[in-house]
């Protein structure tokens, strides 16, 4: 007999759990929590304390929520490479990786999306992880960053909340790998420190053209420590040699359907072909005495240091030159940790960084199953490991001797301690004289100035894309109050931005809203101390924040589709192909059928992709050679015009030769004859120059209504 569900106590209890209105937040042990927004620190700007049982419980539970996937950064792609130093920085640090210009330091780099599962598509709108493992002669140094210079939150205490909000909603596990839903925007609008990185996520940076065309950032402020004990603050930057480029949201949606592995395949193919991705490594170095020089707090991970205030000093280059041999053994089992540092590098009191120093070890214990994860080949340092750690699950080392303790005489006193001059790690001796508090500094409370700087710095086409992203994302939310809160917050950043988003949503910008009590401060804290102030303008624009200023002049690794059928004009095709390939572009013959095409000189040419098996969004540019027979066939194929029209709509470079003019006239390209990136019988050099600019965004407004 089935139970009467209306009368079951378990259902009533579940209902109470969901809809209770008088419930205090507690620990798993039932202790009521006074402050769930701040870790326990030695002073407002001090280091996080290990005794913070609330932080440790919260992070530990969060770290163990998924088996066996990572909880965040699940879907990844990786490669081996090498780092080379341009300049000796011994005046700033004793780290050999930054002082010895003769070294070639092996690296392993993993790129990833944050929110989706292992099977999610590559081109979700998302922040991208950019983690680099340096196998230095002094030990492992992990620089675990993202493709944005800031993060969503200021204190590690809020990390589980952030990820719970952006992950698929737990009642229906929808949406996958997407932030366009109520729980995320509910959290964002109640946690205004998130607004800066959220704007980065709504920008084109969140849908990169290629992993090889992303910047990388260490996000946190670290320290460089010299052999004399002198400390400088430092922020780490990766600058791609190919420039910084993205795709439009419409393209991303189509690419995910056409090739969900687009980024993974792109990285793999580039390395296999010998077109090794390169990034230059740069540092923003700030003397410790300048810690309080700026209108923002260096310890706040939601703030960047504009390059106009502190230039990025380029000190080296990283080249990725080898694909993994086994995806699981390397890409899946690699364990990064921001606490893996070497002498000459040290931490700041950034409260997000401080929490990560605990979290990353804890999560590896769950994901890789043992404290011996360092023995997995991809995680092993290249220098010898000697200590008294023993046993535990999956121990690989066969330790000899009977003295697994220190100090000892039975083992000859080994392994013994290393002095600083012998490379022994010595933490920077920072003075701490503060009360033990669960709070954060009021200098972290400026939540609007840097998002406003970012918006002002974007080019018009970038602003347009960002506005469309906000409209799309908020349009997926069902709660009107959440939409209104978000639009009101945007108005505190930029009124033009808020007005355009509101128009797209069909609502008005509220003049005022009833803001909920700030739950990210303690229940007894003074709300005025942490109330975000009005946006300040300490810098009008920063060119480094706009992709308009971050392109390169090379067509290397760019993929150009050549639309053709039997009878295409050999001479024009051969001239274009040779020029592009000489400049390391990838030319793909897209035929009306598979196998081979016969040109007008009777030669056979292998088809790279049949028209039916590929899409224009997978290419950077389009070329159509002449040849009457070829054009007569192409103009009967509906997908040919889809190919051309999409290329026009998404502002790509297009070249037509000879009889291909007929396709120009029959397609959307006819309305763009004067466009600087659409050519009829143009030279290969001019076509290549247009490809190198990535897109002609001047075309976008006129082309946006082209049906495809």
Catalytic residues: 73, 146
| Residue 484 region by backbone torsions, left for phi larger than 0, else alpha for psi between -120 and 50, else beta | alpha
Tokens at 576, concatenated: 């274009």
Length of the chain as a residue count: 708
Q: How many CB atoms lie within 10 A of CB 12?
A: 11
Question: ω before 299 within 30° of 0 (cis)?
Answer: no
Using DSSP bridges, classify how beta strands 609-610 and 621-624 pair: parallel, antiparallel or unpaired.
Answer: unpaired
Contact 216, 241 (CB under 8 A): no
CA distances (Å), origin 309, targets 539, 541, 590: 9, 11, 48
Contact 571, 546 (CB under 8 A): no
| Residue 551 region by backbone torsions, left for phi larger than 0, else alpha for psi between -120 and 50, else beta | beta
3-state class of 267 per DSSP? helix
The rounded distance, in Å, linking the Cα atoms of 685 and 285 is 40
Q: What are the b/e assignments for 366-398, b being 16+ CB within 10 Å? A: bbbeebbbbebebbebeeeeeeeeeeeeeeeee
The rounded distance, in Å, linking the Cα atoms of 113 and 123 is 9
The rounded distance, in Å, linking the Cα atoms of 149 and 296 is 14
Contact 576, 687 (CB under 8 A): yes
Of 110, 90, 108, 91, the C-alpha closest to 99 is: 90
């Amino acid at each position: 007999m089935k139970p009467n569900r209306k009368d079951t106590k378990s259902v009533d209890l579940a209902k109470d759990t969901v809809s209770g209105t008088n419930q205090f937040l507690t620990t798993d042990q039932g202790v009521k929590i006074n402050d769930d927004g701040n870790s326990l620190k030695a002073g407002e700007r001090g280091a996080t304390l290990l005794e913070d049982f609330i932080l440790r419980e919260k992070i530990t539970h969060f770290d163990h929520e998924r088996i066996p996937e990572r909880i965040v950064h699940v879907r990844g792609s990786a490669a081996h490479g090498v780092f080379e130093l341009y300049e000796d920085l011994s005046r700033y640090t004793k780290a050999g990786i930054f002082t010895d210009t003769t070294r070639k330091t092996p690296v392993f780099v993993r790129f990833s999306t944050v929110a989706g599962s292992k099977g999610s598509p590559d081109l979700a709108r998302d922040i991208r992880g950019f983690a680099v493992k340096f196998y230095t002669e002094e030990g492992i140094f992990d620089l675990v960053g993202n493709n944005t210079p800031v993060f969503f939150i200021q204190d590690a205490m809020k990390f589980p909340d952030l990820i719970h909000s952006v992950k698929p909603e737990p009642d229906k596990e929808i949406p996958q790998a997407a932030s366009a839903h109520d729980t995320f925007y509910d959290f964002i609008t109640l946690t205004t420190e998130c607004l800066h990185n959220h704007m980065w996520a709504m920008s084109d940076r969140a849908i990169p053209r290629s992993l090889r065309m992303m910047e990388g950032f260490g996000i946190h402020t670290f320290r460089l420590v010299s052999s004399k004990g002198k400390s400088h603050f430092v922020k780490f930057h990766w600058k791609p040699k190919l420039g910084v480029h993205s795709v439009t949201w419409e393209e991303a949606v189509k690419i995910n359907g056409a090739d969900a592995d687009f980024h993974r395949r792109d990285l793999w193919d580039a390395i296999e072909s010998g077109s090794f991705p390169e990034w230059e490594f740069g540092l923003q170095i700030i003397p410790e005495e300048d810690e309080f020089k700026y209108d923002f707090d260096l310890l706040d991970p939601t703030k960047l240091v504009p390059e106009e205030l502190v230039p990025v000093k380029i000190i080296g280059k990283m080249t990725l030159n080898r694909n993994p041999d086994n995806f699981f053994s390397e890409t899946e089992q690699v364990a990064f940790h921001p606490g893996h540092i070497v002498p000459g590098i040290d931490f700041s009191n950034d409260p997000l960084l401080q929490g990560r120093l605990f979290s990353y070890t804890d999560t590896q214990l769950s994901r890789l199953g043992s404290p011996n994860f360092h023995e997995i080949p991809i995680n092993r340092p290249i220098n010898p490991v000697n200590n008294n750690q023993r046993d535990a699950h999956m121990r690989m080392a066969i330790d000899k001797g009977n003295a697994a303790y220190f100090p000892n005489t039975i083992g000859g006193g080994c392994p013994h301690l290393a002095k600083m001059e012998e490379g022994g790690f010595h933490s920077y001796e920072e003075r701490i004289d503060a009360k033990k508090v669960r709070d954060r500094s009021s200098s972290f409370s400026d939540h609007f100035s840097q998002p406003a700087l970012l918006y002002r710095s974007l080019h018009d086409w970038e602003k347009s894309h960002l506005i469309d992203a906000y409209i799309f994302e908020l349009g997926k939310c069902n709660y009107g109050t959440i939409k209104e809160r978000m639009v009101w917050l945007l108005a505190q950043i930029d009124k033009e931005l808020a007005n355009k988003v509101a128009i797209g949503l069909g609502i008005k910008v509220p003049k005022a809203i009833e803001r909920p009590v700030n739950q990210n401060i303690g229940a007894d804290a003074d709300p005025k101390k942490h109330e975000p102030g009005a946006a300040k303008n300490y810098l009008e624009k920063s060119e480094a924040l706009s992709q308009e200023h971050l392109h390169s002049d090379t067509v290397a690794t760019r993929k150009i589709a050549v639309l053709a059928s039997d009878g295409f004009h050999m001479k024009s095709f051969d001239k274009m192909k040779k020029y592009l390939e000489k400049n390391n572009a990838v030319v793909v013959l897209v035929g009306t059928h598979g196998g081979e095409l016969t040109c007008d000189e009777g030669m056979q040419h292998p088809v790279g992709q049949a028209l039916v098996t590929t899409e224009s969004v997978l290419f950077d540019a389009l070329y159509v050679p002449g040849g009457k027979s070829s054009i007569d066939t192409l103009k009967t194929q509906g997908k040919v015009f889809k190919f051309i029209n999409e290329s026009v709509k998404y502002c790509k470079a297009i070249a037509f030769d000879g009889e291909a003019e007929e396709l120009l006239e029959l397609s959307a390209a006819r309305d763009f004859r004067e466009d600087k990136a659409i050519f009829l019988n143009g030279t290969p050099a001019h076509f290549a120059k247009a490809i190198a600019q990535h897109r002609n965004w001047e075309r976008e407004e006129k082309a946006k209504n082209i049906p495809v």
